[in-house]
Amino acid sequence: MTTDQESSMSVTETGATIWLTGLPSAGKTTIAYELAGRLRTEGHKVEVLDGDEIREFLSAGLGFSREDRHTNVARIGFVAELLAANGVKVLVPVIAPFADSREAVRKRHAAESTTYLEVHVATPVEVCSVRDVKGLYAKQAAGEISGLTGVDDPYEAPESPALRIESHQQTVQESAAALHALLTERGLA
């Protein structure tokens, strides 16, 4: 075996799940993809588990009842933990509106000794409704949909997240840099 082969084999990537929770249009996915690009440039294995893609491919058929939302979060948490346990930095920009659902994911990670960080993208609903990336706030205001998280359906903000990002007060790059700094502090970047 050559020295290069030995050194590449001895490097073990530390995986982690980084769950970005917040209201619709808070900036979760945008921040996740910005950070993912930076981490990949640094040589990390990274996956983004986008909530919309998960709903289409892994949780198709689930609605938005509390029970269905819990099932969706549990499924995402399972996949995230599996990837993280295998050395991947898993960025999860998913609303996950209920504290008990997020806590169940945290406990699953703890039981497997896998790092889990909860990040609150704390953008006020007034800012999110102006951004309205998917048109959800406009549809809710027009009476076309109901059950919009943070408007007519509850959102339980994390009480003590690993990081709180106020995306309405900084650029996407600054938000991603703050999250990168947390990962660096924790020995993950």
Annotated binding residues, written as ranges, equal 22-29
The Cα–Cα gap between 6 and 15 comes to: 21
The Cα–Cα gap between 154 and 98 comes to: 8
Q: What residues contact 82, with CB distance under 8 A and at least 6 apart?
A: none
Contacts 24+ apart (CB under 8 A), 158-163: 158/21, 158/99, 158/102, 158/118, 158/120, 159/99, 161/21, 161/118, 161/119, 161/120, 162/117, 162/118, 162/119, 163/117, 163/119, 163/120
Residue whose pair of structure tokens reads 């996407």 in the numeric block: 172
Binding site residue list for ATP: 22-29
Residue whose pair of structure tokens reads 């102006």 in the numeric block: 130
